[in-house]
Amino acid sequence: MTTSALTRAQATTWRNALFVIFALCGLGMASWMARTPAVKDALGASTADMGILILFLASGSIAGLLVSSHAIATFGTKPIMAWALGLGPLGVIVAGFGVALGTDGFWVVAAGLCFFGAALSIADVAMNLSGAINERMLGRTVMPIYHAFFSGGTMLGAGVGALGELLRVPILTQAIVVAAIIVIAGVTSVRFVQHESVGDDPADADEPKGTWRDRLSIWRDRRTLLIGVIVLGMALAEGSANDWLALAMVEGHGVDRASGALIFGVFVTAMTVGRLAGVRLLDRFGRVPVLRGSALLAIAGLLIVIFVPVPWIAVVGVVMWGLGSALGFPTGMSAAADDPRSAAARVSAVATIGYLAFLAGPLAIGFLGEQFGLLRALLLVLVLVVAAGLASPAAREPRIR
């Protein structure tokens, strides 16, 4: 699809700006998550306490998602991304300050993560919607590449966290540096993002915008809910690794903390490779077969990590887990945006369902981990990945594009 209002060069520059924005979001999240063992020690927190902290992060994310479609309808994707990237990283700095306070800083960390989660989730919906429109402008599959850049950002973030652990860099110092990078690079990149209206059909230009009730009605759509199940299962497969993998490898497989951070880096590297390779797979085989194969691969990897006690074999399972988790979220976002008329509302709804993995998942895994160990707690992830595989037909491409 092309438009006279947008040149090919502008569409490409828009795409490249989104690559940077996706990567920065991954950097911000992973640089924090890679330091969770150190955070746990500094706060004197239990596994269940860490689940509460992640719950605050997820709660902020859910709040952001619930207002995202209305905010985008009011202000547009570009201003929303500028706000989120300009102010959201302050939450990481607040969380880092809480860690510096030691055992007295638990609720400061919780508040900082809640704010950061809200900003990041609003940016998430805006950049996915902008990416879906840009994908249509370019006329080829791009969404997995956007998410590959997110994974690339998480790779960089995991490396920053591992290096910070090895060099004993204070978490507050790391947070300030990472936040500054996100604000400067993010706000600069947003300048090159186009307004989402460039993808509108001229015939629809005079149609009134939907009301908030219209946007909420998308929740009654069966396809929206089933795509949400896909994203829910695969988001938990991805998010549980972000939240718990480093700690699970330390406590469940007996590796040291630096190795745990590096193994988390192995996971996000596998996800990045899966997303880059997945573009060709999706174009050749379609969404449904790729999603089914992804679910099977993630299930096999999880089983190895959970039940095989040999650390290096568990790392092989981590690679399979990462590859299997790679395409679920971006493919779900593309499917949610198939109809341009309801794209913002449906992307917001699907993302909200997916982020339930980040709301209920951390608390549930933390509770189960306290009772049975973190590795056994990951069986919950396996069950939801099975559900995602079963729901994959809902993401089938429309017959007429």
What distance lies between CA 348 and its chain's CA centroid? 13
| Tokens linked to 294 | 């992804």
The reported pLDDT for the residue numbered 71 is 87
Residue 189: its pLDDT value, please?
96
- With vertex at residue 83, the alpha carbon angle to CA 78 and CA 87, rounded to the nearest 5 degrees, is 155
Over residues 108-121, the mean pLDDT reads: 94
Contacts for 224 with CB less than 8 Å, ≥ 6 apart: 218, 336, 346, 349, 350
Please give the Cα distance from 222 to 103 (Å, whole number): 46
pLDDT at 214: 60
CATH fold for domain 12-190+217-395: Growth Hormone; Chain: A; (1.20.1250)
CA–CA distances in Å: residue 159 to residues 186, 202, 247, 256, 388: 20, 46, 16, 15, 30
H runs (alpha helix) in 167-256: 171-190, 212-216, 222-240, 246-253
Percent of the chain at pLDDT > 70 equals: 92
Give the model's pLDDT for residue 206: 44
Report the DSSP beta bridge partners of residue 3: 6
Nearest to 113 by CA among 47, 188, 36: 36
Does the structure show a pLDDT above 90 at 227?
yes
Between residues 43 and 54, which one has the greater pLDDT?
A: 43
pLDDT on residue 207: 47
**pLDDT at 240 (0 to 100):** 87
User: For residue range 256-310, what is the model confidence (pLDDT) as tens digits?
Assistant: 888 888 898 899 789 889 988 888 899 889 899 999 999 999 999 999 999 998 8
pLDDT (0 to 100) of residue 165: 87
Q: Helices (DSSP H) in 191-342: which residue ranges? A: 212-216, 222-240, 246-253, 257-285, 287-307, 311-325, 328-336
> What is the pLDDT, as a whole number, of residue 384?
94
How confident is the model over 11-39, as pLDDT tens digits? 899 999 999 999 999 999 889 988 888 89
241-258 mean pLDDT:
86
pLDDT at 386: 96
Q: What is the predicted pLDDT for the residue at 37?
A: 85
CA atoms within 13 A on the CB side of 167: 11
Band of pLDDT at residue 203, cut at 50, 70 and 90: very low
Q: Where are the alpha helices (DSSP H) in 44-105?
A: 47-75, 77-87, 90-100
What is the per-residue pLDDT for 212? 56
- Residue 85 in this model has a pLDDT that exceeds 90: yes
Average the pLDDT over each of 116-120, 186-190, 215-219, 390-394 and give the range with the smallest value: 215-219
For the four alpha carbons of 305, 306, 308 and 311, in that order, the dihedral sign comes to positive
| pLDDT for residue 346 | 83
**pTM for the whole structure:** 0.77
Indicate the pLDDT class of residue 9, thresholds 50, 70 and 90. Answer: confident
Torsion of CA 22, 82, 333, 203, to 10 degrees: -130
Higher local confidence (pLDDT), 366 or 106? 106
Mean pLDDT of the chain: 86
Read off the pLDDT band of 3 (50, 70, 90).
Answer: very low
3-state DSSP assignment of residue 3: strand
Percentage of the chain modeled with pLDDT above 90: 44
pLDDT score, position 198: 67
- Residue 387: pLDDT over 90: yes
What does each C-alpha distance from 60 to 65, 121, 154, 171, 204 come to in angstroms? 9, 8, 20, 21, 35
Distance CA(136)–CA(130), nearest Å, equals: 10
Query: Can you give the C-alpha Rg of the chain in angstroms?
Result: 20
pLDDT digits (tens, 9 = 90+) for 325-364: 999 988 998 888 787 777 777 887 888 788 777 667 767 8
Which helix (DSSP H) or strand (DSSP E) does residue 353 occupy?
helix 343-372
pLDDT confidence of residue 204? 47
Altogether, the residues listed in the chain come to a count of 401
